[in-house]
Structure 1
């Protein structure tokens, strides 16, 4: 009877693929492999909320070059929303994304094991995917050709408690209100009254929110609270079952007050058991949702969080 070793050698000889893989493994285990010891362990602590925030680099110049409408460009904001949707489609462990202006925050559930919770892997994957998706989505929403590629940086921040996470998101939404109210008043003075940028800045210096609201109403007949909610509150992306489409899952844009406790009562899946809630719109589905459903890129029907992304 031939020995087992002889049979193994015969298998290796007759299987060139196996021989190639064996050679590669032997090469990998070379004397140079010690350099791996210089890599730092950047594993994220267990049982904490992981927030990855991406932020546009020099977007003031970018928006000027591409003729963004002032104070808000609806289509440009929807490019951001579409890029963020692509990230959420890749990572089902993202329970919520919040965006405004040139930034987006992605909230991973506490239990995620994506990329073995390695900070650098998560950060680079989300940032690069968001950036490339922004470029891909641009022609769908904007008619002006891209003059150059946009750039986004990113950071990872950890929040140990639900309260910390809610406070973080409240902080970002409060930032929207402060900035948008100022920008709305500023550009009305510049474009509506013909003031220079410096004159508009001087006019608004030292004013409070009530002063800016009064200015908009008295001089331009604008009730700030009636402006589109996306401008005033930013965009919240949640995974929902779309009632209008037989419960198919999609990433839905909402423009709600997430500072209030009512928001968290309405969307209990964020902090609780992650089972997407239902969504219906009496005024018709947003374009962002229609695109997902028509492109057949809607989410899988199972309720268990999982990642399409490689977790190695």
Structure 2
């Protein structure tokens, strides 16, 4: 950047580098999506086209940002996870959040016609905002992912019951909301089965579990021979970092709807949240 008498204004910029050795989550959310759902008449309680569009956009973001080790999404939100050793944009919060949010927004708008061919996208365009949150331990990061998946289940069970009562049971939204006030999961499952013949256990996993996106390698990553714990390449070695980047570019982007609260997924793919070398 050229120096001039006006260069002093750079001093007003605030440093926003995120702490080292912390996992970074960039979480994006749709802005005004309640209005957007009404505008394009999304199906209730879930519109599979809208979810598939979210997943397609997220897959492209994961492809574009090789530092993203995993992404989890549900409804109109997605969480993109950067490894604790990630150095992209010098870990600057604003750069990470805006880069992910704008890339996702662009993909969402560009791919819209593939999922809604009979509903042209018009202004105001769908947009997503983003924020960065740091988690100092892998366990806390796992708890964050579990929190978002638990939220997916709770919201979907409520919405499935609510809209069944409205669309199939002939109740008004106000009546359905009042009837569900104070109910627990068992009550909602009973309402769905006894009144509408719906076994919630048989609902599609994409609605109940959300979507996880990660890189899948042939045979999966090799683990440490002594401890069995997966480890990533030495972040201080430029040669190893370049080899790792190329390996990620060749990986298959896997899109699945599975339980992330339990251990099965993480035991099957230990490299996803692998620890860095000491």
Q: TM-score range by the shorter chain?
A: 0.7 to 0.9
Aligned equivalent of 1:146? 121
**C-alpha displacement at 1:46, in angstroms?**
0.8
In 1: Cα distance, 2:162 partner to 2:275 partner: 44
Pairs within 5 Å for 1:140-289: 140-143=114-117, 144-148=119-123, 149-241=125-217, 249-272=251-274
Deviations 1:49-84 (A, max 9, x none): 000000011111101111111100111001111111
Equivalent of 1:123 in 74, 84, 97: 97
Aligned-partner Cα distance in 2 for 1:242–1:81: 22
> Counterpart in 2 of 1:77?
51
User: For residue 245 of structure 2, what is the aligned residue in structure 1?
Assistant: none
| Mapping of residues 24-173 of structure 1, within 5 Å | 28-143=2-117, 144-148=119-123, 149-173=125-149
Gaps of 5+ in 2: 220-249
Give structure 1 stretches of 5+ with no counterpart.
1-24, 275-312
SS of residue matched to 2:37 = helix
Tell me, yes or no, if the aligned pair for 1:84 and 1:104 is still in contact at 8 Å. yes
> Deviation at 1:194?
1.3
Structure number with greater Rg is 1
Q: Distance in 1 between matches of 2:254 and 2:116?
A: 21
Q: Is the 8 A contact 1:65 1:147 kept in 2?
A: no
Shift, 1:90, TM fit: 1.1
| Structure 1 segments (4+ residues) deviating >4 Å | none
- Secondary structure at the residue paired with 2:21? coil
Cα root mean square deviation, aligned: 1.4
Task: Provide the TM-score with structure 2 as the length reference.
Answer: 0.85
Q: Equivalent residue of 2:168, what SS?
A: helix
Check whether the contact 1:66–1:147 (CA below 8 A) recurs between aligned residues: no
Query: Partners in 2 of 1:171 and 1:70 — Cα distance?
Result: 24
Question: After superposition, where does 1:294-309 map in structure 2 within 5 Å?
Answer: none
